[in-house]
Amino acid sequence: MHGQADDLGGGVYKKRKNQYRSIILARAGSFWIYEYLFAKQYRANIDDDELVEFRKLTKAYGRLTPKQVNQLIRDQDWMEICNGD
């Protein structure tokens, strides 16, 4: 959110760190999801059709309630990296 990632639109961001790229899905004010990590040496970028699907996924995640998100974490389907508390 502070200019450290490229905004690909629709809540999808690409973050560069050394030789790796991360696709991050954002639900502003609630949570960010590291959805996909790839090495720059193996692929330059995601495809347009992948971007469309990431945008759809962002919308679906945006409809989750806090209770559903907490359940995903409890079930270990998602892992919380940093809560900021």
Number of Cβ within 10 Å of residue 52's Cβ equals: 12
Q: Where are the domains of the chain?
A: 6-74
* pLDDT at 55 (0 to 100): 95
CA–CA dist 11, 31 (Å, integer): 11
* DSSP helix/strand/coil, 18: coil
* pLDDT at 85 (0 to 100): 58
* pLDDT at 74 (0 to 100): 95
Which pLDDT tens digits describe the chain residue by residue (85 residues)? 556 789 999 999 999 888 999 999 987 667 889 999 999 999 988 999 999 999 999 999 989 988 999 999 999 999 988 756 5
